[in-house]
Amino acid sequence: MTAKYERLVRYLDQLRTDGVEEVELSFGELERILDAQLPAAARNFRPWWSNSSQAPKPWQIAGFRSRAVHLGKQTVMFHRLPAGASSEVRDLSAPPERAPRLLVVASGTGRMAVHHPRELRKDDFLDLDRLHAREDELRDFLRPASELYCCDQFRFTRSGIQTLRAAFGRDRVDMRIMSPGYGIIGEQDMIAPHSVSLTDFDRTELHLWADHLGVPEAVRAAIAGYDLVVFLVGQCCLEAMRPPLVPAEGQRLVLLATEHYRRHYAVPGVTVLPTGRLAQASCEVGSIALKGYLFARFAQVAAREGAELLQSLIADDSGEVFWQAVQRAVAAG
């Protein structure tokens, strides 16, 4: 923990000593306490403020939990933990069945639920005013991102997410989508049908396009605050994210990717699962849908065996936890 966050710990610790149960602070007030600016992710992504069961956040160390984060008003509420609970946060323990916070980064490609002869093209995404005008033309065809994309890969991914949410709670599992036109977006973001493919770019063009969409910064901001992040995207998407992605302390990033990306993402806390090996687990689906299928299979086992399986995956450098869970799922039929 850096010195600036120690200032926040001391501030909240004093409030706890004074018997304060709850305090709402604006982001500006927090910056005055820290004597430093908050990172951009704190102002734009609610997951940054999440409480962690692995590496406690500064407010958890002081015996508080964050709640009621309001990005519009730029405020956050800190609620004091009951007597005795703060010690559980300090020693990083968590209730046995409390699942870690999981983010799935999925790929928004392939078949779409609706089509239009004048769907968005690459040029429409080059200028924000033009994009908004074109979206207005297609307003009857706008859909939440999680409903617009409907290829088999995405269908399997959504099924796995629904399985985990049913087992561990809606607040424990989130999804972000890597759209080749819109960049990193949320499930409920309203988007229009489009026909942009990252496979049409060479490596230099891909980097320029990703920079235009703000992908490298957005994906790093999106993963902040999660204990476990699973990437179910293709090689072009991974390249657009500008490897390597460096996880926070106690965070695990899991990538289902080709062996080529083991070298690019070979940093502590990142597990690369070669899809070539995982393909041996099933002949039920083709290579395009394989990542989503494997994730859905893993989710079935995690829902059945409990949060400890997810905790084991976070602690696993080899990928064997995921691989063996998929094998158990396939064997069970």
The answer to whether 87 and 112 have CB atoms below 8 angstroms apart is no
Q: 252 forms bridges with which residues in the sheet? A: 228
Q: Compute the distance between CA of residue 291 and CA of residue 154 in angstroms, rounded to an integer.
A: 9
Residue type for 6, please? E
The answer to whether 284 and 297 have CB atoms below 8 angstroms apart is no
Q: Compute the distance between CA of residue 205 and CA of residue 191 in angstroms, rounded to an integer.
A: 23
pLDDT computed for residue 1 by the predictor:
44
Residue 240 CA from chain centroid, whole number: 16
Instruction: Give yes or no for a cis peptide into 56 (omega within 30° of 0).
Output: no
Q: Compute the distance between CA of residue 226 and CA of residue 173 in angstroms, rounded to an integer.
A: 9
Q: Compute the distance between CA of residue 199 and CA of residue 206 in angstroms, rounded to an integer.
A: 8
Coil, strand or helix at 279:
helix
The pair of three-digit structure tokens given for residue 311, joined into one six-digit string? 């905790």
Q: 152-207 pLDDT, tens per residue? A: 889 999 999 999 999 999 889 999 999 999 999 999 999 999 999 999 999 999 99
Q: Beta strands of 156-261 (E only): which ranges?
A: 173-179, 183-186, 190-191, 228-232, 252-257
State the SS3 of 236-273. Answer: HHHHHCCCCCCCCCCCEEEEEECCHHHHHCCCCCEEEE
What strands, in cross-sheet order, belong to the sheet with 228-232? 183-186, 173-179, 102-107, 228-232, 252-257, 270-274
pLDDT computed for residue 73 by the predictor:
87
**Residue 50: which of 99, 3, 17, 16 has the closest Cα?**
99
The pair of three-digit structure tokens given for residue 249, joined into one six-digit string? 């302390």
Q: Which fold has domain 102-332?
A: Rossmann fold (3.40.50)
CA dihedral 308→314→319→322, nearest 10 degrees, is 40
Q: 299-330 pLDDT, tens per residue? A: 999 998 899 899 999 999 888 899 889 888 88
Residues with Cβ within 8 Å of 151's Cβ and at least 6 positions away in sequence, in order, are 109, 110, 111, 288, 289
Specify the pTM: 0.69
Per-residue pLDDT of the chain (333 residues; tens, 9 = 90+): 445 678 898 899 889 888 899 999 999 999 999 988 888 778 877 777 877 655 578 888 888 989 888 888 899 999 988 765 543 343 333 333 578 999 999 999 878 999 999 999 999 999 999 999 999 999 999 999 999 998 888 999 999 999 999 999 988 999 999 999 999 999 999 999 999 999 999 999 999 999 999 999 999 999 999 999 999 998 899 999 998 899 998 999 999 877 766 666 768 899 988 776 666 555 566 667 889 999 999 999 999 889 989 999 999 988 889 988 988 888 776
* Residue appearing with tokens 């734009």: 44
Q: Compute the distance between CA of residue 287 and CA of residue 277 in angstroms, rounded to an integer.
A: 12
Count CA atoms within 13 Å of residue 130 on its CB side. Answer: 8
pLDDT computed for residue 203 by the predictor:
93
Q: Compute the distance between CA of residue 280 and CA of residue 243 in angstroms, rounded to an integer.
A: 27
Read off the DSSP letter of residue 112: B
The answer to whether 238 and 258 have CB atoms below 8 angstroms apart is no
Q: Compute the distance between CA of residue 224 and CA of residue 57 in angstroms, rounded to an integer.
A: 12
Domain extents in the chain: 3-90, 102-332
**End-to-end CA, the chain:** 46
* Residue appearing with tokens 């561990």: 168
The pair of three-digit structure tokens given for residue 93, joined into one six-digit string? 């323990």
Strands 173-179 and 183-186: antiparallel
